Amino acid sequence: MNISIIILNWNGIELLKECLPSVISAMRDCPINNEIIVVDNGSTDTSTEYINLNFPEVCILLMKENLGFAKALNIGIRNAKYPVVVCLNNDIIVEDKFLGPLLRCLESEDVFAAGPKILLTDKKTLNFGRAIGSFKYGFFTRKITDSLHPANSLYACAGGMVFKKDKFLELGGFDEDMDIYWEDLDLCYRAWKRGWKTVYEPRSIIYHKFHATNIRKYGRRGIDFLSGRNYSLFIIKNMHDKLLFVKHLFCLPLLIILSLVFGRGWFASGIIKSFAKFDIFMAKRRIEKNKPSLLPDRMIIGIILK
């Protein structure tokens, strides 16, 4: 099971100084063929010079400008030469033996992706683990939990996940109209509809400098805005159960009001702004509904809750 590791970078030379050595170390004794690709997303710092000088074995894909998260990652993945892809943010540090348990998850034909336990750099605080989704009172919510053993997960975090390239391409990759935040859930949810699982593997551990890149680019308000916008777009595109979808639309004004009351005005603004893309995502919804689907929405949520 040969692998391509894709690392997305934007002006992250200081982050790469920790990320790349950890990845190189993890791959040093790896018994399978592998490649490491850094997708440089229009950096203006000396990231590429640092890589060329210190890690000449690493392939660099240069973007002329910052294309955004999803588009740049899609380009990197399409250029990967091996059938299994590992996606890592540049603010990730991996443990030496993080890869083995993840690859074993992919040995099952019906598994699309696997995600590791992601801790913050204090090595104690859980940043991402097993994702559980629920739909109550017209709202779709997700909760991150931990488990002692591998378990079904609603999705894996795009900043640290492994998946089968052929299935990724068949799904159409990350949605570039969403770009970042909820794009990984969108991908894995569409896979679940085809009967392709995402698995959480707690024996694989990586560490995350939380928001180290995204805070610099978007700011906290921007992140909240994108989260609100893409939450709404995700539902429009993927929630095909008519009753759940109508409940969502009916309760959406309440969610906007509650967000404003609890100080999340930018999240509320993102939801409102999502309707500028309503027609685009309704078209995507129609396309997705016409694709082969084995699992309806209620069954997916039921499986994840087990």
- How far the first Cα of the chain sits from its last, in Å, is 30
Task: Find all residues with CB under 8 Å of 150, minimum gap 6, and list them.
Answer: 101, 105, 199, 200, 201, 202, 203
Phi-psi region of 219 (alpha: psi -120 to 50; beta: other; left: phi over 0): left
Longest dimension (CA), the chain: 57
> What would the pLDDT profile of 251-265 be if each residue is shown by its tens digit?
999 999 999 999 999
Hey, how many other C-beta atoms are within 10 angstroms of the C-beta on 66? 16
d(CA 189, CA 195): 10
Rounded to two decimals, the pTM is 0.95
The pLDDT value given to residue 306: 57
Residues with Cβ within 8 Å of 112's Cβ and at least 6 positions away in sequence, in order, are 163, 164, 167, 168, 188, 191, 196, 197, 198
> Which one, of 115, 117, 134, 116, lies nearest residue 188 by Cα?
115
What does the pLDDT read at residue 147? 93
How does pLDDT run across 103-154, given as a tens digit for each residue?
Answer: 999 999 999 999 999 999 999 999 999 999 988 888 899 999 999 999 999 9
**Domain-wise residue ranges, the chain:** 216-292
pLDDT score for 30: 81
SS3 212: coil
